[in-house]
Copies of this chain bind each other. A is one copy, B any other.
Amino acid sequence: MAESITTRAKDFAQWYQDVIRQGDLAENAEVVRGCMVIKPHGYAIWEKIQADLDRRFKATGHKNAYFPLLIPKSFLAKEAQHVDGFAMECAVVTHSGLRAVKDASGKVSIEVKNKLEEEYVIRPTSETIIGHFFAKWIQSYRNLPLLINQWANVMRWEMRTRLFLRTTEFLWQEGHTAHADHEDSLREVHRMLDVYADFAENVMAMPVIRGKKTNSEKFAGALDSFCIEAMMQDGKALQAGTSHDLGQNFGRAFDVKFQSKEGREEFVWQTSWGVSTRLVGGLIMTHSDDAGLVLPPKLAPIHVAIVPIFKSDDDKARVLEACVKVRDAAVAVGLVCELDDRDDMRPGSKHYEWEQKGVPVRIELGPRDVDGGVCVVKRRDRDPKEKTSVAIEGIGAVLTGLMDEIQKGLYERALAFRKAHTVRADTYDELKTALDGDGKIGNFVLAHWDGTAETEAKIKEETKATIRCIPFEHDGETGVCVLTGKPSAQRVIFARAY
C-alpha cells in the first residue's frame, strides 16, 4: 500500500493528488464540473483554519454578515475593470424552475422553465452586491469605518481545476470594509495582510513573503493588491492571501457616499481581502512527505493517535488500560487524542492510516511497554524508523512539548527550504536558468525589473514565470532590468506559480 503515494521527485502533481486521496481529504466531484467534495478530514482542517482566522478578524473589530449568493447580472457591469476580470467565468442563473416531462415511452426528462427577467450570476466575489448595501447603510462619517467579513462559497468557472488549489466552487472568507479616507483604508489593507501573514507563519507553519502585486496581477477593480506568497516543495509559488486597496472605485460604481466631519459629501474608500480553501492545498504542499500528509499541530484535527498492541485477551485488558491512561493525559493537556481500538485491523495498518492522515504524534503500546510503564512515541515530522520510549507517568507534558517542537520545526524546515531555493539573477539568462532550478525544484528568483507591463508580459511568455510580488522587505539595492537594462528601484520576485 505504501506504493500508492507517488514520490515528490517522480511526479509532484501526482504526489499531491495521492496525498489528498490517502489522507481522505477531498475528491473531485466529477458530476459537477471542476467542483470538489471536501471530506471530513479535509473539512476538519478547514474548520480549524476558520476558527483561528475568525478569532483574529473579530479581535481586529470586524463583524460577520451574510449577503446573497446571487448577484444581478447588471451589477457586474458597474465597475469596468471588475466585469472584465470576472464576467468570463460566471455561472449564470437564467430560470427559476424545472418540470418533469414524460415522453411517449414513459421516460421522464426534466425541462427548464420560468425564465427570469434579469439573469443572476453566482457570486465570484461580492464587492458589487456588498457595495450596493454599503450605499444603503452608510450616510455619515459616524458609520465609518464599517468592517464586515463574510464566510461563504463562491464560483468561478475555471478551465483547469485542481483539488483545493483551483476549483469552480470554493469556500472562503471575504472581508469588505469602508473608510472615510485613504489613509485609514490603507491601514486596514496592511493590517489584514499582517493578520494573514501571522496566521500563515504561526499557525500553518508556512513562511510567506509580503509584497505588492504588479498592475497586471492585481484584483480586477483595485487600485493596488497586496499578497502573501509561499513556496511549495516544488519551488513554485502559491498566492496564499490577498488584501486589496479598492480606492473609491466601487464607492463610485455603487454610489457609496457619506457626509464627512467637515460636511462634505464624499465617496468612501474601500478594501477587500480574502483567503480560501486553497490554503489547505498550500498546507499540504508545504509540509507533506512521500509517506503522505504532514500537519502542523495547530491545524491537526487529531494530535495523537494511540495504537494498542496485544495478542492474548489478558494482554488486551492491561494494554487498553494503559492506553486509556495515556489518552486521558493527552486530553487533560488540551490535545485531541484518538485511541484506535478497532478490532478488525492490524496495528501496522492503523499506524499507516494515521501516518497518511498527518497525525503529528503516534503512540504504540504493547504488553512489554505496560510492564516498563512506558510507551513508544513516533513523530510524524521525523524518519518513520525513529522511535522514542517515553514514561507514561508525565506523558501529558511531554506531548505538549512535542507539539511545540513539531510546530516550530515544520516552520523552520519550510523556511530553510525557501532560503535554499531563493536566488538572485542579474541577467536574463541567469533568470531563466535560476527559474528552472535543478529541473525538479524551481527557485524564487530575485531580479531587477523596469516596472513595465510589457517587460513583465514578455518574461512571462518566454519563461512561464510571473512576478509574484514586489516584496516589502528588500535591501534597497537599485539596479537595471534583466530584460531591458532600464533602471529598477528594487528586485522583485519571479517564480512559476499555482
Contact = CB atoms under 8 A, between A and B. Distances in A.
A63 interface: yes
A37 B87 CA distance: 23
Looking at A36, A69, A114, A119, the one whose CB has the most chain B CB atoms below 10 A away is: A69
A397 interface: no
Interface stretch (A97-105, A380-388, A445-453, A475-483): A97-105
Contacts of A72: 31-32
B91 A87 contact: no
A110 B76 contact: yes
Given A77-B110, A94-B94, A66 B87 contact: no
A157 B69 CA distance: 13
A92 B89 contact: no
B77 A109 contact: yes
Contacts of A119: 112
A87 B92 contact: no
A392 interface: no
Contacts of A370: none
Interface string A370-409: 0000000000000000000000000000000000000000
A44 B73 contact: no
A349 interface: no
A344 interface: yes
B87 A110 contact: yes
A73 B93 CA distance: 13
A121 interface: yes
Contacts of A38: 65-66
Nearest to A98: B87
Contacts of A132: 31
Contacts of A153: 69, 152-153
Contacts of A98: 73, 76, 83, 87-88, 90, 92, 121
Given A64-B44, A65-B40, A121-B98, A91 B70 contact: yes
A77 B100 contact: yes
A93 B93 contact: yes
Contact of A69 (B31, B75, B122, B148): B122
A112 B119 CA distance: 8
A498 interface: no
Interface string A37-52: 1111001101100000
A344 B142 contact: yes
Given A63-B40, A88-B97, A100-B83, A68 B108 contact: no
A38 B32 CA distance: 29
Nearest to A142: B344
Interface string A300-328: 00000000000000000000000000000
Contacts of A234: none
A156 B75 CA distance: 22
A32 B90 contact: no
Nearest to A146: B40
A63 B44 CA distance: 8
Contact of A100 (B63, B70, B75, B84): B84
Contacts of A65: 37-40, 43
A74 B157 CA distance: 21
Interface string A117-138: 0011110000001001100000
Interface string A1-43: 0000000000000000000000000000101100111111001
B100 A157 contact: no
A115 B73 CA distance: 16
Contact of A93 (B37, B39, B91): B91
Contacts of A80: 108
A92 B100 contact: no
Looking at A37, A75, A76, A133, the one whose CB has the most chain B CB atoms below 10 A away is: A37
24 contacts: A31-B72, A31-B129, A31-B132, A32-B68, A32-B129, A37-B65, A37-B67, A39-B65, A40-B65, A43-B66, A46-B66, A69-B155, A73-B112, A76-B110, A77-B110, A87-B97, A87-B98, A87-B99, A88-B97, A88-B99, A92-B93, A92-B112, A94-B112, A153-B153
Given A69-B155, A87-B99, A87-B110, 17 more contacts: A32-B129, A35-B70, A37-B133, A39-B65, A40-B64, A40-B65, A43-B65, A70-B169, A77-B108, A80-B108, A83-B108, A84-B100, A92-B112, A96-B157, A112-B119, A152-B153, A153-B153
Interface of A: 29, 31-32, 35-40, 43-44, 46-47, 63-77, 80, 83-84, 87-100, 108-110, 112, 114, 119-122, 129, 132-133, 142, 148, 152-153, 155, 157, 169, 171, 344
User: What 3 A-B pairs have minimum CB-CB distances, sorted nearest first?
Assistant: A40-B63, A87-B98, A92-B95
